[in-house]
Structures are given as structure tokens and as C-alpha cells.
Amino acid sequence: MSENWIVTLGVFDGVHRGHIALLKRLAEVAAEKSARSLVITFTQHPMEVLEPSCYGGFIQPLHERISTIQSLGIDQVACLDFSREFANLSAEDFLQYIYKQYPFSGLVLGYDTAFGRNKEGGRELISTLADQWGVYLEYVLPVLWKGAPISTTRIREALRSNFQEDVCEMLGRANLHFNPY
């Protein structure tokens, strides 16, 4: 039997408050549409493959990311291997690849989600594809902290500067097991 999925995708490194808002909305939409919620993430960080000299490592190990995501009521987490070949897929080919494995009827995405070769799959293209395919699409607004969106980049900067209180506030929980940089 084929399942009906509502999907989000991303690295979700750190699973911060912005991610949590997105994941909770994903679970809500899936419940509203009598579907299952699916998070697609990656075993390798895209930077590790595309710009290894700039890559500083995950701040949260994969098993902890998965555990945190599942604790938010997500039905399934799928981990894809990120490779150069994978990075060269067009946005449409990437979505078709996902659809073949997990037939989805909806996408719930972060406000700045972009995917596919050179991040060509931004809002305009994703909206066009969703319309063509008859797929529900929703973008979740960023969660702001000190006037700017919470991001893994901001958390990395706070970790490098040893601003543990800032890290905990952006994560929404104590920072216990993260890569200290």
C-alpha cells in the first residue's frame, strides 16, 4: 500500500527553534490531511561534499538529530547520502527522486528552502512545480531572535565565541552534546 506523505527537507543541524516550528507545522499539516509526516535529511552535510575546506563538521551528530526530530511527533525520518552526483540533480529531478520513494501530497518548507543544482529550486520554481503537480505547499516563517532569523550559522558563530547562553536560547534547550568548534 502506498502511503501519503507531507514532506519537509533540510540538514536540520542543531534542530533549533526555527527547525522546531517548521517540524511542528509539518506534523500539524500531516494530521490535517490524514497523511504521514516525513523529514528528509542528509547523512553528509552538503558543505562537506561541495566545499570541504569550508566545512567545520556537524554541530549535532546524526543520531541525535534524528532523535530530536522524532521527539516532535514526526512519523518518519529518511536520511539520504549527499554526493556530487546528487548535488547536480535539477530541483525538479530532486523532487521526482523524493516522490518515487515517498509519494507526497504536500511540502512544508522553511522560508529560505532552496534545493537542486546550485540551489536553483527556490520559492518561485518550487511553487510552479507544486502547482503543476497538484501538491500542497506551505512555507513556514522564520523564528526571530534578537531581530534576526535563528539559523544554524548563528548557532555556529555563538559556539565559536563560547556564547553558551545564546546557543541555548536559539536551540530552545540546553546545549549538552554539541561539537564545540
DSSP 179: -
- C-beta of residue 73 within 8 angstroms of C-beta of residue 97: no
* Number of Cβ within a 10 Å radius of residue 3: 12
- The pTM of the full predicted model, rounded to 2 decimals, is 0.92
- Cα dihedral sign, 74-17-52-64: negative
**Buried b / exposed e along 24-51 (16+ C-beta atoms within 10 A):** bbbbebbeeeebbbbbbbbebbebbbee
Q: How far apart are CA 133 and CA 142, in angstroms?
A: 26
Percent of the chain topping pLDDT 90:
85
Q: How far apart are CA 172 and CA 143, in angstroms?
A: 11
Determine the pLDDT at residue 1: 43
Determine the pLDDT at residue 98: 96
Determine the pLDDT at residue 163: 92
Distances (CA, A) of 58 to 46, 155, 174: 11, 11, 17
Cβ burial, residue 144 (10 Å; 0-12/13-18/19+):
exposed
Find the mean pLDDT for residues 133-162. Answer: 96
Q: How far apart are CA 60 and CA 30, in angstroms?
A: 26
How high is the mean pLDDT of the chain? 93
Determine the pLDDT at residue 55: 86
Question: What pLDDT band is residue 57 in, cutting at 50, 70 and 90?
Answer: confident
Q: Residue 42 in 3-state DSSP?
A: strand
Ordered by where they begin, the domains of the chain are: 5-142 (3.40.50.620)
